[in-house]
Amino acid sequence: MADLRPFRALRYNPERVDLKQVVTQPYDKITLAMQEGYYDASPYNLVRIILGRKESEDNTARNVYTRAADFSADWRRQGILKQDAEPSIYAYSQSFVAPSGETQERRGFIALGRIEDYSEGVVFRHEQTLSKPKADRLELLRATRIHYEQLFLLYEDPDFEVERSLDRVKAYSPFRVTDEYGVGHNVLPISDAAVVASIQQKMRDKNLVIADGHHRYETALNFRNECRAKSGAGTDAPHEFVMMTFVNMNDPALVILPTHRVVHSLSGFSVDEFHNASRNYFAVEEIDPELDGARATTLLRERGRAGTALLAVMANRAFVLHSPKEAVARILDGLSPRQRSLDVVQLHKCLLEGVLKLSEESIRNQQNLSYLRDASEALDQVRKGKAQIAFLMNPCPVGQVRDVAFAGEVMPQKSTDFYPKLLSGLTAYALD
């Protein structure tokens, strides 16, 4: 049973700051260049808390986490961050241009969600997690005791009953901002008790799938367990909840982008050997290696209608891999039919591990592998000699994400890229 609660969000004071100068992309999407830009944008930019700069003099007493706690406390004292007077849920809409060229609006809402063990069958994951990011986020949460970034949760509502409840509230919100990717974000607090109760009731029987924020969810879970061991507080203690954004997986504006794989620094890599070995697993067709990102995307979409479709592009040659052979079934033996049908699983098991001989550990640690959203950027990496091979894929449909998650299974990391990202800094949940 999904237990949702309104809360008094900690938010930037629009009378003290320009919202556009202080919000950021999620911490794991912030490059070094973006970090520098955020630092320059405002002394109150959230990057100082969620992804602060490391300094040469850092030690156990003074580091990115202690500085984050200092900024957090100082901005609250100054009134840069203010807590809302009334408990609310927050309608959250995002306007954006989809890859199809259509302008779309994805709608959801922000509320507290009870932190549940996966074994309870309420919250489901769909991707693997790594220990290092969770350790980093846990240190930050211990230091600040504030959830500054939203978790992205999906629920099923084919009749759009929750959205109809949200539609009952019409009001202007000053919390409007357009991010660096041209995505418009709008947050509207809803404190009407009847509306809040209606949404809580409609969400009560929903199963929830983590779309983005697996590491942060498991961080919240670990922190909850720490607090339980120390305090013995009741089941409604602040640490029993985390801030979540809920989006209907039936929303046509729910867009999933592919995450392409780029392989580099392989010793003795041979295109001919790759081609010959790949034919053990797939039908392989050679195509024009000069294709651009748009043509690659179109080709994948067209070929993907019939099943598996992967593009392998090197500096001077390119191949379409399709129609998996019996060897694929053998190498995936032991996996569920849901897993075996995933392009990303076939890519990892047959090509990355089977053909290129990358170990699961090296893939997890990204030793010879990087991930890129943009097909043109992936092709550019190969053509400039920065990588040896780019694997381009179709996006994973949300139905496959749902089925894998509800079956208690996980995909390889970076299997999905939900677009657009939830902006960080629109709301925060303070535990104290």
Q: What is the CA angle 12-18-24, rounded to 5? A: 70
pLDDT for the residue numbered 131: 84
> What predicted TM-score, i.e. pTM, was given to this entire model?
0.92
Rounded Cα gap, residues 136 and 165, in angstroms: 38
End-to-end Cα spacing for the chain: 26
Of residues 36, 30, 190, 216, the one with CA closest to residue 109: 190
Over residues 285-341, the pLDDT tens digits come to 999 999 999 999 999 999 999 999 999 999 999 999 999 999 999 999 989 999 999
Q: Which residues contact 333 (CB under 8 A, 6 or more apart)?
A: none
Domains and CATH numbers, the chain: 4-8+82-255+419-430 (no CATH), 259-394 (3.30.1760)
CA 278/CA 271 separation, integer angstroms? 10
C-alpha 4, offset from chain centre: 21
Mean pLDDT of 178-194: 95
Residue 208 or residue 130, greater confidence: 208
Q: What is the pLDDT of residue 365?
A: 84
- What residues does 4 pair with on adjacent strands? 113
Residues 177-187, mean pLDDT to the nearest whole number: 95
Q: What are φ and ψ of residue 114, in 5° steps? A: -65, 135
Residues 386-402, mean pLDDT to the nearest whole number: 95
Provide the Cα torsion 228, 231, 233, 238; round to 10°: -70
Q: Is the confidence at residue 171, as pLDDT, over 70?
A: no
**Quick one: how many helices (H) and strands (E) in the chain?**
15, 21
* Residues 68, 52: Cα–Cα separation, whole Å: 7
Burial group, residue 300, by CB count within 10 angstroms (0-12, 13-18, 19+): buried
- Nearest CA among 175, 22, 14 for reference residue 79: 14
Q: What are phi and psi of 230, to 5 degrees?
A: -85, -40
Can you tell me the distance from the alpha carbon of 271 to that of 313, in angstroms, rounded to the nearest whole number? 10
367 by DSSP, 3-state: which?
Answer: coil
Q: For residue 420, is the peptide bond before it cis, meaning its omega torsion is within 30 degrees of 0?
A: yes
Contact indicator for 417, 398 with CB cutoff of 8 Å: no
CA 122 from centre of chain: 19
For position 289, what pLDDT does the model report? 92
